[in-house]
Amino acid sequence: MFARPLVAALAALTIASIQTEKPEILWQFEAGG
Amino acid sequence: MYVGSCNGLFRSLDAHTGKVRWETNVRGKAPQYFFHGDVSIAPDRIVASTDVDAATGETAGVHAFDRNSGRELWKHAAGRGVKGAVIGAGSRVFVYTIAGELVALDIDSGKPAWTYPLKAPVWESPAVVGTRVFGGSTDGLVSAIDVETGRLQWQRKLGVPVNTSVRATDADVYAGTADGTLYRLSAASGEVRSSLKLDPALKPVSAPLLAAGAVLVLLADEHADYGALVSLDPALGRVNWRQAAPDKWTTSRVFESQGAVWLGDPSGGVTAYCAADGKPAWSHKLASAPIRSIGGSDEILYVGTPQGTLYALRQPHPCK
């Protein structure tokens, strides 16, 4: 009964620790496949 | 920066703008002509490996290009060619050919200094330290060969196919085998100094990376899908950490920069895992296609897809 909120909180902490901000794309080039 | 693609074009791009400095076409009449392995860069030239479908009638192998103009300086033709990286040391470059040879080429002329028969894993590459070049083979041997003469110095039978590129330090040689084990051999004698079974089903693949006081190695399943990344202490006494791919990774080598290991996935995502603990620290969906290759410098990440799109990103520093 008490375990579930704890697991949810830990999962939220783990997700929050991963940064997801968009990187600055300096350029893009089509080299052909 | 330099990039080769599957259409036989090898290019030099301005690293900061992406503008083409030069491009050279080496595909001949073949519709596709592949640059797969890492290149070797010398002060005045760049040496790259190529492979081609034999049905095209073309031959592939090793090409040297002038770094300033892109002019092809020489080509060493080797049948279907070379899929693995070109390893440079001094006045020589070394490759595994698809045909089953370890070849030493003179970097000035492209002429073979020597060849040694070796059934190497064709996507992989040898290692060179000091006077020895080290190679692994699918018949379970690790061999040390004299850089100058091509003569065998020692050979160690592991009994299981070598599955990875060989990497070496002054003292140790690392090779992964198809039974999921990573070996550390004495560079001087070939004696097995230690080994560690990494997985009962997955096997080490690609080139073990010796960086940040650890050995990093990718593990793949029977379909050659990359499923886990393992960090080991250099003595192979323990696993520092192991990180499983969320699904699988599609980048075929371990690239480490700024304390992070960068891997791509089938849905176009790029993720940075901290080299210290293996934890994911940054992730972003960059493309709608799988990510095939990641490389770069301290400041810029270059990310490529099989469709030929190349992205240059300012490198985040999530593990600092």
Would you state the pLDDT for residue A8?
52
Q: Which one, of B241, B234, B119, B219, lies nearest residue B167 by Cα?
A: B234
Q: What are the residues whose beta carbons fall under 8 Å from the beta carbon of A11, sequence distance 6 or more?
A: none
By 3-state DSSP, what share of chain B in percent is helix, strand and coil, each rounded to 5? 0, 50, 45
Contact B311 A30 (CB under 8 A): no
Choose among B86, B7, B101, B88: nearest CA to B48: B86
Give the model's confidence band at A9: pLDDT under 50 very low, under 70 low, under 90 confident, else very high: low
pLDDT of B87-96, one tens digit each? 999 999 999 9
Q: What's residue A32's pLDDT?
A: 86
Residue of A nearest to B316 (CA): A23
Chain B residues with CB under 8 Å of A18 CB are 280-283
Contacts by B21-24, CB closer than 8 A, 24 or more apart: B21/B70, B22/B69, B22/B70, B23/B70, B24/B65, B24/B70, B24/B71, B24/B72
pLDDT at A19: 87
| Among chain B residues, CA nearest to A20 | B283
Residues of B in contact with A24 (CB under 8 A): 313-314
Contact B290, B265 (CB under 8 A): yes
Q: How sure is the predictor about A5, in pLDDT bands with cuts at 50, 70 and 90?
A: low
Res A24 pLDDT > 70: yes
Enumerate long-range contacts of B241-245, CB under 8 Å, 24 or more apart: B241/B277, B241/B278, B242/B278, B243/B273, B243/B278, B243/B279, B243/B280
For B246-278, what is each residue's pLDDT tens digit?
999 999 999 999 999 999 999 999 999 999 999
Structure-block tokens of residue B61: 């192998």
Q: Which of A18, A23, A28 sits opposite B310 (nearest CB)?
A: A28
Evaluate whether B286 touches B292 at the Cβ level (below 8 Å).
no
Residue B108: band (very low, low, confident or very high) from pLDDT cuts 50, 70, 90: very high
The reply to whether ipTM tops 0.95 is no
Q: Which of B217, B166, B212 is nearest to B196 (CA)?
A: B217
The reported pTM is 0.93
Task: Please state, rounded to an integer, the average pLDDT across all residues of chain B.
Answer: 96
A4 to chain B, any CB pair closer than 8 A? The answer is: no
Which of helix, strand or coil describes residue B183?
A: strand
Which residue of A lies nearest to B17 if distances are taken between CA atoms? A27
Would an 8 Å CB–CB cutoff place A22 in contact with chain B?
yes
> Taking the mean position of all CA atoms in its chain, how far away is CA B124?
6
φ and ψ of B284, to 5 deg: -155, 140
What is residue B275's predicted lDDT score, i.e. its pLDDT?
A: 96
List b or e across A23-33, with b for residues whose CB sees 16 or more CB atoms inside 10 angstroms. Answer: beebbebebee
Helix, strand, coil shares, percent, chain A, to 5: 40, 20, 35
**Nearest CA to B252 among B317, B306, B301?**
B306
Confidence of residue A1 (pLDDT cuts 50, 70, 90): very low
pLDDT in tens, B180-194: 999 999 999 999 999
Q: Do A19 and B316 count as a contact with CB atoms less than 8 A apart?
A: yes
Q: pLDDT at residue A2 above 80?
A: no
Q: Which residue has the higher pLDDT, B238 or A8?
A: B238
Cβ atoms within 10 Å of B83's Cβ, excluding its own: 22
| Contacts (Cβ under 8 Å, ≥6 apart) of B86 | B37, B38, B39, B40, B47, B48, B49, B62, B93, B94, B95, B125
pLDDT tens figures, B31-46: 999 999 999 999 999 9
